[in-house]
Every structure is written in C-alpha cells, then in structure tokens.
A and B are shown apart, each in its own frame.
Chain A
Amino acid sequence: MTNNKVKIKTEKLDVFYGQKQALKNVNLEIFNREVTALIGPSGCGKSTYIRCINRMNDVIETCKISGSIKIDGQEINNKQIDVVRLRERIGMVFQKPNPFPKSIYDNVAYGPQIHGLADHKDKLDQIVQTSLKKSALWEEVKDRLDEPGTSLSGGQQQRLCIARAISVNPEVILMDEPCSALDPIATAKIEELMEELKKTFTIVIVTHSMAQAVRVSQRTGFFHLGNLIEVDTTDKMFKNPNNKMTQDYITGRFG
C-alpha cells in the first residue's frame, strides 16, 4: 500500500442501543489515504460503526458507547472532546442525498461559514468553487449556483453532499451507502470521484454491493451481527478469505 499509517483505530468497541447490543468488541484499524469498505448483511452494525467515528450516535438518546476510538492516536470517545471540531475533521455522506433546502452555493458554503473558514466573500467563493470541482460537480452547476440544491438530480445531489462534506477540508470522509439510492451511471460517477478523493482524504465506505467494494476499496472489513468477522486487503478478502463465514457471504450463500 502507498501509505501504511493508521488513521483511525478502535479497540474493544461496544455499542448499545438501549438493551440491544449493536457492536461487540470491535477492533479495527483504518489506514490513511485509502478506501476501507465495510460490508455485511443489514443490521450487522457497519453503519453504527462509522457513526461512532464522528460521534453522530450522540444524537440518539439511548445509545451508549464504550471502548476506545483513536484518531491519529488521540482518543475521541470521551466527554472532553469537542464534537464540533471532531466533525469538522471527519465529514460524512449519507445514504439518501440530503441537500439543505437552500441554494447550491449556500449548501456548500454552510460548513465554511459556521466554522469561520472564510473571512471575506472572495475566499468563500473560492472554497465553494474548489469543493464543487473536487466533487466533480462544478462544470454542471457553475451557471446556476443560485438554484435550490433540491432541484438537482439524485446523483448530482449526492455529489453536492460530498462537496458539502469536503468544504471544511476534513481528514476523513465517512460514506454510509452513498450509492444505494442512485442509478448505475450516477454510481459510476461517485466511484470515479472516490478514486480521486482518496489521494487527499481517508475514506470509509459502508456498502451492500460486493462489486462496489471490490472496485473502490483497498481494504475490506466484514461485519456480522455486531461482530467484526474479518478484515484484510480487499484483494485477499475476495480471493482467499480466512473465515468460512466471509467466504459464504461474498459468494452469496447467505446475507
């Protein structure tokens, strides 16, 4: 691999939603500037896992998290950590495109504005432009930045959400099944984009599509019923997995 530095490291991670245990003792390392895919059947805990990394589970009242989550060696699973700064460093793209009911420009400018990243209009314009260019949307929307974000097509909306996520210049982008609501052409565009993004960002993607995991990721982790069954390079996982269960899942025998 190009860069073998560990970016995110979780140890003995347990997550409870009320009485239900969603993650059981998950130990996982995610490496800098590559794409890590998390696969597994529905309800296996892969989305829960990535929502721990940017503390989005805080929103859910009944959720309890124990264990260690370290980013660049710094523990983030404690009360002292400032979630606002944390989420600035760790962006997220959701399953369903969720642009704000604002203009395309304001959608992207939202993050920089609340974090005070631009002290004047030109700087903000520039951030919006670079973010839209990085998310490969600029050419399609540069003449209609004032139109509402919701007027774009599904695939464009999702790329707008990616632009929104990268506008605050994060280190990590979490993607929760970003293509599940998109058609194959829009999906291909997002995958192409990820290829480009991984040069600057660390990407963790949850996906239901094995083919997508093979296409975009360098490492793959397989979750089942809250357990991390196996994690390895994508190549090894799909050609020669160690675990029988992984073998069964990727060949479509269950899940």
Chain B
Amino acid sequence: MNLAILLLIVLFSTSCFFFGRKKIINITAANKIRMNALPDYYGYYLALWCAIPAVLILAFWTVFEPTIIKAFIINNITSSNLKEFNSDELNLIYQQIKALYLGNFTGTLTEEIRRGAENYKSFLSIAEGSKIVILISIVIVTTLYSYKKLINNNKAREDVEKIFKAVLFTCSLVAILTTIGIIFSLLFESIKFFTTINIFDFLFGTSWSPQRAFVRDASTITPEEYNELKDAFGSVPLFAGTAFIAFIAMIVAVPIGLFSGIYLAEYASKKVRKYSKPIIEILAGIPTVVYGFFAALTVGPFFREFGERFGLEVSSESALAAGLVMGVMIIPYVSSLSDDVINAVPQSLRDGSYAVGATKSETIKKVVIPAALPGIVGSVLLAVSRAIGETMIVVMAAGLAARLTINPLESTTTITTQIVMILIGDQEFDSPKTQSAFALGLTLFFATLILNYIALRFVKKYREKYE
C-alpha cells in the first residue's frame, strides 16, 4: 500500500516537472522574455514542492501509525474492563489481537481479544483512509501553492539549490546520527557491565571464560563471588589472541602486498597493470566466509598433517592457519593502496634520480619508497585495523578456547570471535555475560579508532608533502 502511494507521488511529481517546465517555456515563448532561471529549474521547483512534503508526511505516518493504534486499542481494553492489567499483560493482549487479525492466532480466544481484533481492523481502515485523504490534500495544496508562486518567481534556481542542499544535509545527518547512536548503545551497555565488573579487572585480567558466569542479581554479589566472577571476564587473552593473529596476518600481507604494489606501480607494463590490478582487487571482494572455509578445511588440516609428519602437535584449528589466510585476504588492501601512493610520487623525483645515474631499483629503494613511506604506513595501519576487526575466518579456523599462548600451532581466539560466541543463541540481556560482549565491542572500537586515526594522520601528512 505504502509502496503504491509512494509510486503515485513520484509519478505525479515527475509529471509536475514536465508540466512546470513546459509552462515556463510557453510563457517565455509567448511574451518573448527570458526568465531568470532555466526552464528545468521551474520544473524541479514544482516537482520538489509536490513530492517532498507528501513523502515526509507518509514517512512519519508509517513510523507512528502502529504506536498510535496500539495506544487506542490498549485504551479501549482498559476502559471497557473492570479488571486491572499491568503493562506486560496489556502487551501480550495486544500481540494476541494482532495475531488474530493476521490470522495466525493460537491459544484460547477470549471475548476481549475478539472485540479488540474487530477494533483493530476498524482502526486500521480508518487510518488507511485518512492517510490517503490527507496525502492527496497535501499534494494538491503544495502543488497549487508552488504553481501560483512559479509564474512570478525569479528565485526558482536559488530555491531549488537550497532544497538540494537540504536533502544532502539530511542524508549526511542520518549517517552521522546513526554512528553516534551505535556508539552510545555500546557505551550504555558497557557501563552496565562495568558496574558489575571493575573496568581494570576486565582490561587486565588474564582469564576469560564467560560460560562460568552465572549471576542472578548483580546487586547481591559477595566479595567471594566477585573474585570468582572477575576470573571469567579478564580480556587479556582475547586481546593477545587478536594481536597475535593480526601479527601473523601482517607478516604475510605486508611484504607480499607491498612488493606486488611496487611491481605494479614501477615495473609492470601498462597492459599487465590493466589486467592484474582488477584481478588483485577481486581478492578483496571475496566474502570472508569463503576464506574461512579455505582456512578451516584446507589450510588447517594441511598444517596438522604436515606437523604430524615431523612429530609436532598441531591443533587443526590453529592461529597460524587463521593468520595466514587472513594475511592472504588483506594482501589486496596493502597492494592496491601502496600501488596508489607509489603512483602518486611525482615522476620528477624519479627523473631526478635517474639523471644522476641511479638504476631503477636504487631509485625505488632510495627515493620512491622513502617519499611514499607515510602513505605506505597509512595503508598498512588500515590493513591492521581490518585484520583486528575480521571475524569470520577466526571463528572458522582459529578455535574458541581463550588461552594465553604464543605458539602459533595452538588454537587461540579473538575479541570478535568471542562476541559472536556470547551473542548467539538464547540470551538474557541483563546478565554480565551478554553485557561483556558490548564491553569487548567498545574496547575493540576504540582500538581500531585509534589505529585509523593514526593511519589517516600519516596519509594526511603525506598529502601535504607535494601540494
């Protein structure tokens, strides 16, 4: 229904565009005058006036309709019944009424639910009808208003520009507000967690096993219980595991990525570059789940068999397998970005080096790389934050046991993996176990934020160099 209305509004405003444009063309032709703006602007003016208020009202209506109807229904139930309901019961009744209306009701049908469903039905049709009436009148009013203004308007161009600016502003506002909202939701849940578990015990504790934590009521924890509890939420093994796997990934990705970037930028002929660059970038488009399969089913078992041949104990889920595959995944980021920054080094610097008799590799080693270094460091840091945030490969290939180890052949775990483990399945949202996921998320967010900030600073510094 809403989709149909939206489509109608779009159709109507499109025709308004052509109508307004034609109108102005006719006026200019008939009176032999030149209007202040191009005819297109008058078309846009009319079309935007017709569409924007109606779409806004439609959006608000769609958002608030269920809430309002619910309020009406609940009001009806409470006023027609002598019995007192608490809010949970009212909610349940409302859900049952909705289910009955939609035809998937199960359970015992009571009189009030049946009556409620009838009410619900009539409210819905009233709402539907009034929505259509209001929208049509809004469209008519705004279209007439703007049409009246259209003919004597010598500011159509400015007005249209203003509207476009407002639309763009709204979009960026949505993006920013959503991000802020996410941060705050993380923050509030984390604060709840930190009221139970001391933040220092969380950040510096060396034992992680949230499965052990059964807390009924956070306000009645005795000191003995707390001592037990804080051992379940020490995040150091997770950070160590994350850093370790990211480190293995970088050992793979940085040299290979950097050298292939140098090859592409400096040595590859135009033809090779044209084909190989997109191919490398395709690697970046492979879903990480696919890398995860590869790590868990191919690389992991390969290492185990290889290790067994030499009498080594290798876990089939090892940090090495996950780190290696993650490194392969990150190669395109490093190579593509370093290729770009090396290309951005001005040719004049290379010419200067060749002109004193340097060879190609000397020029690259001593002039090009130092000049591009800030950009390369930036790309590496971006890749690191990518490695830290990566989840899927680790979930599939590195295991779940949180243990503090630097043996790459053992299984280990990362922050993101643990967040996944904590939040899948049935959860109580007020237990410290669940809340610890938010605390982990927040810490991870700050870690990658700092890395990204450093990376961007490097890149910025690099930009200033040649401009």
Contacts and interface: CB of A to CB of B under 8 A. Distances in A.
Interface size class of A (residues with CB under 8 A): 20 to 34
Interface string B318-362: 000000000000000000000000000010111111111111001
Interface string A85-127: 1111001101010111110000000110011000000000000
Interface stretch (A26-34, A54-62, A186-194): A54-62
A84 interface: yes
Most buried by B among A56, A92, A111, A114: A114
Contacts of A102: 370
Given A56-B351, A94-B351, A110-B366, A101 B371 contact: yes
Most buried by A among B350, B352, B355: B355
A100 B355 contact: no
Nearest to B346: A98
B165 interface: no
Contact of A85 (B349, B351, B357): B357
A88 B359 CA distance: 11
A115 B352 contact: no
Most buried by B among A54, A94, A100, A111: A100
A160 B331 CA distance: 39
Nearest to B368: A100
A165 B354 CA distance: 11
B280 to A, nearest CB: 22
Contact of B354 (A87, A101, A168): A87
A220 interface: no
A95 to B, nearest CB: 9
Contacts of A165: 355-356
Contact of A100 (B270, B352, B354, B359): B352
A53 to B, nearest CB: 11
A130 B354 CA distance: 22
A25 interface: no
Contacts of B351: 56, 59, 92, 94, 98
A59 B267 CA distance: 11
Given A94-B348, A114-B366, A161-B352, A84 B357 contact: yes
A150 interface: yes
B79 interface: no
B86 interface: no
A146 to B, nearest CB: 15
Contacts of B348: 94, 96, 98
Contact of B356 (A96, A99, A150, A164): A164
A83 B348 CA distance: 18
B357 A88 contact: yes
Interface majority SS (helix, strand, loop, mixed), chain A: helix
Interface in A137-187: 150, 161, 164-165, 167-168
A115 B357 contact: yes
Given A100-B367, A100-B371, A114 B349 contact: no
A110 B269 contact: no
Nearest to B371: A101
B355 A91 contact: yes
B352 A91 contact: no
B251 to A, nearest CB: 28
Contacts of A86: 357
Contact of A87 (B269, B270, B346, B356): B356
Interface in A37-61: 54, 56, 59, 61
Interface string B352-386: 11111111001000110011000000000000000
B356 A111 contact: yes
Contact of A92 (B269, B350, B355, B465): B355
Contacts of B362: 114
Interface of A: 54, 56, 59, 61, 83-88, 91-92, 94, 96, 98-102, 110-111, 114-115, 150, 161, 164-165, 167-168
Given A84-B358, A85-B357, 6 more contacts: A87-B355, A88-B357, A92-B351, A92-B355, A100-B370, A110-B366
25 contacts: A54-B355, A59-B350, A61-B269, A83-B357, A84-B358, A84-B359, A87-B355, A87-B356, A94-B348, A94-B352, A94-B355, A98-B349, A98-B352, A100-B352, A101-B370, A102-B370, A110-B366, A110-B367, A114-B356, A114-B357, A114-B366, A164-B356, A167-B356, A168-B356, A168-B357
